[in-house]
């Protein structure tokens, strides 16, 4: 179709044919994934929005797109104000908006494979107050009007060997079986793709930048399992790895299989198992236990093999990033670089490691005003030339068989203003505040979030995203349940207690709309912190990411002696870990960048 306006019109015509007065379009798939395959990119196809979180509602004469503070600028650049109203979340929920705008007595459609049961109940209640009803569709109406819609990936599975995983799939399934026995349950449905990948020690290529496969699984109380995956995705090696205790079925056999649990107690996670799964279990006569996926916490607490692998991945990734930063510093002032060409060069440095599997997300390569868009995605159309006087922000990461990385650095192109340096140093102070935090067992990320914001708050500034997210082990770059954020920030559970073994990002920032953006991001590991005289167990963070923090942007006078000590110790560690992987001019450059700041 020639334009997004045409696509919106086509959907409205289809809704008329389906006897619907509206439809809800989330950005997710049948597994409630954050990042989805091309076949599930319905929101992007309909609206042009390229962010990783959002939803839309289409009514006969109104249409609204819902995004959080990370995308305030981006959504306005990519989605037409002539066709769409911009609605902020969490300030306004989709359900409440429907309760005010849905036609009285109208029929609002939703795809039960793309929403949680909690969302369905909330929306149904809001619509009932308006005399309208929520209607489950058998076929998503966007799929009916999307010509050339991509098919789901048919890429084959691979094995994550036990040495990298740190525990066999059989041992993991036995632990799930123990969990089921404790709850007197017969089985648990695993719908989250990364949970399935972790529990079965398999990886896939069905979602860009996230090594997962489109599948469902049911783990039984006897330790056996049923894996539902397209037959063409299997290999003899994967089948042998899974063994006889794992029965294989086509992916489309999953929904019918849910009818076979009459009288059985079946656990399903309300956060990752969609409404259609609960509906099918109910219809089949199962006693459904709405419990959190038992893999979630087990996956988040990394074992020694996963931690060791991650550190190895971080070292090689830090060397690749350091090589890029040197190249950028020497190349950018002469002109000729663009956001796209810089991102491609960074990818090339990672490729030169010889073991890069993929990027862990689309590189945020942003100069000047694009840097003020926290989740900016560079495209051929948006790519700006990198010019003197600007700040260049690069947020990137790699997927390696032994670890997933995520790091952000900022570089000046020539001269940086005093204001830029002030903001950069305040962001650095917040970063150090998290890196050096010591806190009692039971502390959650929401209690730490203000440590990162305080230096900005002192001068009336803030940033509109969370401070830290969980990270997987050669899995999702955004992983729960842990998060460092304000208590009810969308996209994570900031009230989850932090536990030793969890990976998180530490990424405060500052964004001046239309001018520049700053973010400093390292990954950290929650570790036990012995404190002399402590009356209770204490935790803290071990920094895992090593690459120089741009010294020309730092105002030492704003740093305390303890902060300076942390910075200099950090750079000493960068030299110790990354230095041996560099040589010649690159090593000399790194030594200069890591010299003590006073």
What is the per-residue pLDDT for 34? 87
Over 60: is that where the pLDDT of 593 sits? yes
Query: Residue 442 in contact with residue 537, Cβ under 8 Å?
Result: no
Positive or negative, the CA dihedral 352, 356, 362, 363 is negative
Eight-state DSSP code of residue 409? E
- Identify the weakest region by mean pLDDT among 91-100, 201-210, 270-279, 371-380: 371-380
Backbone torsion region of residue 346, taken as left when φ is above 0, otherwise alpha when ψ lies between -120 and 50, otherwise beta: alpha
Nearest to 57 by CA among 3, 115, 17: 115
Which segments of 545-583 does DSSP mark as H helices, in order?
561-578
Rounded Cα gap, residues 78 and 504, in angstroms: 30
Could you tell me which residues are beta bridge partners of residue 522?
506
- Identify the weakest region by mean pLDDT among 90-94, 202-206, 426-430, 536-540: 90-94
Over 60: is that where the pLDDT of 504 sits? yes
Task: Tell me the three state secondary structure of residue 470.
Answer: strand
Question: Of how many residues is the chain composed?
Answer: 598
Query: The sheet that has 358-359: what strands, in order across it?
Result: 358-359, 398-400, 403-404
Backbone torsion region of residue 232, taken as left when φ is above 0, otherwise alpha when ψ lies between -120 and 50, otherwise beta: alpha
* Tokens of residue 441, six digits: 């067992």
Query: The sheet that has 216-220: what strands, in order across it?
Result: 246-249, 225-228, 216-220, 187-190, 265-268, 287-290
What is the per-residue pLDDT for 375? 85
- Which residues are CB-neighbours of 501 under 8 A, at least 6 positions away? 300, 301, 302, 303, 307, 525, 526
What is the per-residue pLDDT for 69? 81
Over 80: is that where the pLDDT of 551 sits? yes
Percent of the chain with pLDDT over 70: 98
Rounded Cα gap, residues 408 and 518, in angstroms: 9
By CB atoms closer than 10 A (0-12, 13-18, 19+), residue 590 is buried
Rounded Cα gap, residues 71 and 61, in angstroms: 25
- 268-288: b or e for each residue (b if 16 or more CB lie within 10 Å)? bbbbbbbbbbbbbbeebebeb
* Tokens of residue 402, six digits: 């032994």
Task: Tell me the three state secondary structure of residue 226.
Answer: strand
- Identify the weakest region by mean pLDDT among 105-119, 219-233, 449-463, 485-499: 485-499
pLDDT tens-digit series, residues 26-42:
999 999 998 899 999 99
Eight-state DSSP code of residue 92? S
Over 90: is that where the pLDDT of 492 sits? no
pLDDT tens-digit series, residues 124-169:
999 999 999 999 999 999 999 999 999 999 999 999 999 999 999 9
Q: What is the mean pLDDT of the chain?
A: 96
Mean pLDDT along residues 264-285: 96
Is-cis flag, bond preceding 44, omega within 30? no
Query: Residue 261 in contact with residue 187, Cβ under 8 Å?
Result: yes
Over 70: is that where the pLDDT of 493 sits? no
Task: Tell me the three state secondary structure of residue 279.
Answer: helix
What is the per-residue pLDDT for 488? 67
Domains and CATH numbers, the chain: 4-145 (3.40.350.10), 158-299 (3.40.350.10), 301-585 (3.90.230.10)
By CB atoms closer than 10 A (0-12, 13-18, 19+), residue 308 is middle
Residue that has been written with the tokens 């001068």 in this structure: 459
Q: What is the CA radius of gyration of the chain?
A: 24
Dihedral (Cα; 398, 403, 406, 412), 10-degree rounding:
-60
Over 60: is that where the pLDDT of 1 sits? no
Query: Residue 203 in contact with residue 41, Cβ under 8 Å?
Result: no
- Which residues are CB-neighbours of 196 under 8 A, at least 6 positions away? 190, 202, 212, 213, 215, 216, 217, 227
Query: Residue 544 in contact with residue 407, Cβ under 8 Å?
Result: no
Element holding 114 (H helix, E strand): none
Rounded Cα gap, residues 285 and 473, in angstroms: 37
Could you tell me which residues are beta bridge partners of residue 440?
538
Rounded Cα gap, residues 99 and 130, in angstroms: 6
| Cα separations in angstroms, 584 against 323, 579, 590 | 11, 11, 10
């Amino acid at each position: 179709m020639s334009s997004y306006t045409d696509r919106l019109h086509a959907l409205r015509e289809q809704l008329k044919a389906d006897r619907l007065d509206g439809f809800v379009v989330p950005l997710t798939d049948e597994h409630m994934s954050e990042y989805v395959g091309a076949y599930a990119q319905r929101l992007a196809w309909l609206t042009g929005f390229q962010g990783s979180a959002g939803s839309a509602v289409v009514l006969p004469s109104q249409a609204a797109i819902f995004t959080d503070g990370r995308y305030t600028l981006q959504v306005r650049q990519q989605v037409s104000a002539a066709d769409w109203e911009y609605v902020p979340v969490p300030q306004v929920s989709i359900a409440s908006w429907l309760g005010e705008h849905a036609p009285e007595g109208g029929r609002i459609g939703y795809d039960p494979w793309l929403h949680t049961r909690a969302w369905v109940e909330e929306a149904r209640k809001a619509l009932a107050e308006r005399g309208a009803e929520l209607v489950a569709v058998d076929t998503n109406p966007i799929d009916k009007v999307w010509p050339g819609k991509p098919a789901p990936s048919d890429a084959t599975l691979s094995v994550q060997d036990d040495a990298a995983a740190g525990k066999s799939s059989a041992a993991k399934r036995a632990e799930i079986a123990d969990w089921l026995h404790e709850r007197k349950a017969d089985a648990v449905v695993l719908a989250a793709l990364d949970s399935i990948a972790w529990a079965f020690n398999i990886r896939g290529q069905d979602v860009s930048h996230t090594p997962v496969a489109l599948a469902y699984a049911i783990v039984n109380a006897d330790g056996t399992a049923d894996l539902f995956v397209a037959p063409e995705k299997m290999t003899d090696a994967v089948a042998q790895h899974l063994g006889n205790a794992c029965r294989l079925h086509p992916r489309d056999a999953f929904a019918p299989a849910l009818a076979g649990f009459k009288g059985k107690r079946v656990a399903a996670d309300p956060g990752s198992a969609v409404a259609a799964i609960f509906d099918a279990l109910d219809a089949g006569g199962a006693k459904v236990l709405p419990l959190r996926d038992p893999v979630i916490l087990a996956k988040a607490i990394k074992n020694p093999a996963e931690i060791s692998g991650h550190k190895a991945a971080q070292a090689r990734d830090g060397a690749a990033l350091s090589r890029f930063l040197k190249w950028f510093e020497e190349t950018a002032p002469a002109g000729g670089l663009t956001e796209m060409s810089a991102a491609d060069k960074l990818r090339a440095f990672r490729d030169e490691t010889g073991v890069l599997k993929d990027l862990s997300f689309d590189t945020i390569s942003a100069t000047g005003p694009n840097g003020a868009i926290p989740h900016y995605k560079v495209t051929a159309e948006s790519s700006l030339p990198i010019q003197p006087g600007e700040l260049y922000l690069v947020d990137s990461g790699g997927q390696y068989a032994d670890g997933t990385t995520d790091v952000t650095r900022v570089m000046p192109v020539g001269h940086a203003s005093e204001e830029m340096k002030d903001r950069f140093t305040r962001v650095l102070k917040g970063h150090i505040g998290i890196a050096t935090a010591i806190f009692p067992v039971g502390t959650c990320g929401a209690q730490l979030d203000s440590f990162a914001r305080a230096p900005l708050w002192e001068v009336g500034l803030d940033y509109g995203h969370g401070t830290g997210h969980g990270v997987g082990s050669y899995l999702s770059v955004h992983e729960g349940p842990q998060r460092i954020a304000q208590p009810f920030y969308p996209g994570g559970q900031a009230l989850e207690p932090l536990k030793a073994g969890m990976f998180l990002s530490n990424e405060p920032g500052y964004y001046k709309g239309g001018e520049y953006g700053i973010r400093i991001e390292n990954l950290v590991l929650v570790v036990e912190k012995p404190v002399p005289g402590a009356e209770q167990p204490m935790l803290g963070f071990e920094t895992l990411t090593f690459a120089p923090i741009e010294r020309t942007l730092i105002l030492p006078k704003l740093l305390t002696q303890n902060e300076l000590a942390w910075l200099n110790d950090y750079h000493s560690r960068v030299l110790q870990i990354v230095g041996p992987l560099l040589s010649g001019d690159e090593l000399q450059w790194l030594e200069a960048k890591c010299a003590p700041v006073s």
